[in-house]
Amino acid sequence: MDVRFLQISADAFDPEAAHKTFRDAVKGAGAIVAFTGLVRGADQDLTLTLSHYPDFTEAEISRIATLAEDRWPLVGWSIIHRVGPMTADEPIVFVATASAHRRAAFEAADYLMDYLKSEAPFWKSETVGGKQNWIEPRAQDIDDKKRWSL
C-alpha cells in the first residue's frame, strides 16, 4: 500500500476536492469510503476550537492508520483534520479509505474515525455566548472504540 495522505490543517479544506485527489491516487481500487465530520450547532453562535501537539499528533495518527493497514487489505487512506477556530457547518475531519472490496473500506474508515475521536492527540473546546467549555470523549465514543478490540 503506498497511498497514505495525512494533513493537519489550520485552514478550511474542501472535502470534495480531497475525495477527488484520493480517488485519483487509488485508481484501480474497487471501493472508496469517505467520511466528513462537520461542526454542529448552526442554530447557535458557536465557535469550535481544536488544538494539537505538532509532530506527536501526526505520529499518533500514522500509528493508528498502520493498525488499520494491518487489519484490512487497504489500497490507501487519507486523513485531513482541522485545527484552530471554526464555525458551524465547516468540515472538521475527512477520512477516506480504499480497498478492492467494500467491506474492508467501510470497516477501516469506521475504525479510523472511532480512534480519531478518542486516541488522536487533539483537544476540542466550544465557545457559546462567550463561554468556553472543553469537550471530552462521550461514553458512546469510548464504547464505539471498544467494538474494535480483539
Contact positions vs other proteins (CB under 8 A): 37, 50-51, 53, 55-56, 59, 81, 92-93, 113, 116-124, 134-137
Q: Which residue number, 54 or 73, has a Cβ lying nearer to other proteins?
A: 54
16, 63 contact by CB (below 8 A): no
Q: Which residue number, 8 or 105, has a Cβ lying nearer to other proteins?
A: 8
CA distance 51 to 147: 27
Q: Return the closest-CA partner of residue 60 out of 109, 14, 112, 12.
A: 112
Q: Minimal distance in Å, beta carbon 116 to other proteins?
A: 4
Q: Which residue number, 136 or 143, has a Cβ lying nearer to other proteins?
A: 136
Q: Minimal distance in Å, beta carbon 125 to other proteins?
A: 8
Grid cell 474542501 in the structure block, residue:
14
**102-119 and 56-71 are packed helices; what angle lies between their axes, rounded to 10 degrees?**
150
Give the 3-state secondary structure percentages of the chain, helix then strand then coil, rounded to 5: 35, 35, 25
Q: Return the closest-CA partner of residue 95 out of 82, 145, 67, 144.
A: 82
Q: Minimal distance in Å, beta carbon 119 to other proteins?
A: 6
Q: Minimal distance in Å, beta carbon 132 to other proteins?
A: 8
Total residues belonging to the chain = 150
Q: Minimal distance in Å, beta carbon 136 to other proteins?
A: 4
Q: Which residue number, 18 or 29, has a Cβ lying nearer to other proteins?
A: 18
Q: Which residue number, 29 or 120, has a Cβ lying nearer to other proteins?
A: 120
